[in-house]
Amino acid sequence: MAIASSWLGFVIGLSIGWLPIVAAPAFFLFGLAFYSAWAYQRGTRDGFGAHTELVPSENIGLASVGWGLALFVPILAFYAIVHLPTIWYKHGLVVGARMTEAPASPHWTIIRFASIVAAVAVIAAAFMPWVKAEVFFFSISINGMDRDGPYTAALGVAIIVAILASVYTRLASRHAFTAVAVFGAAIALIGFLTWIDVQGAVDVDGSELEALPFVSVSPQSGLVLTTIAGAIAATLGLAGIRLDAPPPKRNG
């Protein structure tokens, strides 16, 4: 959760130059706090979905901070490696390079088409089975619209609207693809959170199925497609920010 939040901060800041280096730590800390609160509400589970006798808030908080600190430095290093070349290029650190305005990007590109396809997949997945629970001799299938499918479907529609707006209105491609990246990351995050707590996604008369004996709960095609398509949309959004517009021309 913290990693996803810090990456989301990087995506948001990507359109404002150096801001990702500042936004990533802030969103990282927000992710830790949000995940701790979310896990506390879900019950006595640790970060790996196992039961624990510790107080949930303490256990999740300590585990999140421990893993977070171990991963925080490599995350920022990755951000710097990816983004510093762009910073140098934008500020003209190439000696003797005189930049002119970049030509307008094509209205319909492969990245735009692929983003819409990913969004359509997310919308379709919202109506597919997300979770299946087998109890003794019968099974229960939970549809995406019975869980968080309405939210992922709405985000999928928002991705399509952002792409269409960049084609048919004056919305800048950079802003549109930033929205695609953020919405895609949110979709993937919703799918991931449901996936790691798939047992808690199924209730019987208000009680979690895990309380019953001989219960097998597994993610289904809709949940898998939601998570993967959301991650793909986020990646396409980042690719669009960096690659959609042709590079500036150089004179002299």
Please, which residues bridge with residue 142 across strands?
131
- The single-letter code of the amino acid at 222 is G
Q: What is the pLDDT along the chain (252 residues), one digit of tens a residue?
A: 544 555 555 555 444 444 455 555 555 555 555 555 555 555 544 444 444 444 444 455 555 555 454 455 555 555 555 555 555 455 444 434 444 444 444 577 888 999 999 999 999 999 999 888 777 777 778 888 888 889 999 999 999 999 998 888 877 788 888 889 889 988 998 888 888 777 666 654 444 555 555 467 778 889 999 999 999 998 888 888 877 654 445 554
Instruction: Provide the pLDDT for residue 118.
Output: 94
E-strand spans in the chain? 98-99, 129-135, 138-143, 203-204, 207-208, 215-219, 250-251
Instruction: Provide the pLDDT for residue 36.
Output: 57
Instruction: Provide the pLDDT for residue 172.
Output: 79
Domains of the chain: 1-95 (no CATH), 105-252 (1.20.140)
The pTM of this model reads: 0.58
Instruction: Provide the pLDDT for residue 144.
Output: 86
Pairing of the two strands 203-204 and 207-208? antiparallel
Residue with token string 């549809």? 143
DSSP at 51? B
What are the structure tokens assigned to 217, written together? 């709960």
